[in-house]
Amino acid sequence: MAVGTRPLVPSRLSPGGVVHGSTRTPTTPLRGYVALAKLRVIELLLVTTVPTMVLAEQGWPSTALVLVTLLGGTLAAGGANAINMVIDRDIDALMKRTQGRPLVTGLITPRAAMVFAITLEVLAFGVLWWGANLLSAVLTLSATLFYVFVYSIWLKRRTRQNIVIGGAAGAVPVLVGWSAVQNSVSWSAVTLFVVMFLWTPPHFWALAIRHVDEYRAAGVPMLPVVVPIEQAVRQMVIYTAALVVSSLILIPVAGVGAIYAGTAVVAGSVFMWGTIDLGRHPTAQRSMRLFGFSITYVTLLFGALTTDVLVRHGF
């Protein structure tokens, strides 16, 4: 199938005609809407947004502000994910790991999904404006619009750089967390944005290597689909090296201490070694191992950032 085409697929797949790739296929409307929103995104929000807020406050910020920021971010991310599933329902039907999504199975209609998504986005903007400030609300809405129009509609099916450029949307939560506390964006926040921006390509390309045949069948030009795996991994090495450097730049920019610095060096070295090892032995097993560690890396890095600030400045 040519890149950029959107084949029409039935809104419902014939009973017994498809074995869904996921064992978590929702079977009730409530579970379908939860699946649309991908509520597990709260985990990444917790990992990146809260530590950024701690750094901005130089201590623990208002718990109410933390909860409001997380709620607004979760609602916005849920809405963006739902819109993305509406846009991608044709290619989701072609990929084993996404065939159980509620728009593919027909559990939820595209119209209902869009109403749900827009409602979440309106609520997110209102919650952040009311509970934090207008800047955090505008940044969140901007990330959603960028994700939907730039990544999902424009880039995803057209260029191998889709996840590189589109990944900027996933880095915005650190700006939202910082602005919720400071009502501004500083160089520390920008540095954390760069960290998350550079983390995204090796993270998703590791997953794409594992599912390269599915992406190819769906006509999505992820980098491992359009170039040899070895060449894709070389790009991953470059981004990982830049990621490690940017994580170390935060030390002088934000004035963080030894706990963060030590973690950034050790975790970054392990991430770098894992990426190089994938280049030497490009197997699906190693790519998923690296994908899993990329999540661990972010957790360790931002966890160390929180610990460092709280140890030096207290609650």
Q: Where are the domains positioned within the chain?
A: 29-313
Rounded Cα distance between 207 and 289, Å, is 9
Rounded Cα distance between 315 and 305, Å, is 14
Q: Is the pLDDT of residue 278 over 80?
A: yes
Instruction: Find out whether 52 and 192 touch, Cβ atoms under 8 Å.
Output: yes
Average pLDDT (249-254) is: 98
Confidence of residue 9 (pLDDT cuts 50, 70, 90): very low
Instruction: Report the pLDDT value the prediction gives residue 19, as an integer from 0 to 100.
Output: 32
180-195: pLDDT as tens digits: 999 999 999 999 999 9
Confidence of residue 302 (pLDDT cuts 50, 70, 90): very high
Confidence of residue 4 (pLDDT cuts 50, 70, 90): very low
**Higher pLDDT among residues 281 and 8, named by residue:** 281
Confidence of residue 91 (pLDDT cuts 50, 70, 90): very high
Q: Is the pLDDT of residue 140 over 70?
A: yes
Nearest 5°: phi and psi at 227? -130, 160
The CATH number of 29-313 is which of 1.10.10, 3.30.70, 1.10.600, 3.40.50? Answer: 1.10.600
Q: Which of 32-46, 48-62, 74-88 has the lowest mean pLDDT?
A: 32-46
Q: Which of 139-143, 155-159, 192-196, 303-307 has the lowest mean pLDDT?
A: 155-159
| DSSP string computed for 18-77 | ---S-TT---SHHHHHHHHHTTTHHHHHHHHHHHHHHHHHTS---HHHHHHHHHHHHHHH
13-46: pLDDT as tens digits: 222 223 333 446 888 999 999 999 987 777 888 8
Residue in this structure with the two tokens 């030009």, named with its chain if needed: 221
Rounded Cα distance between 170 and 147, Å, is 8
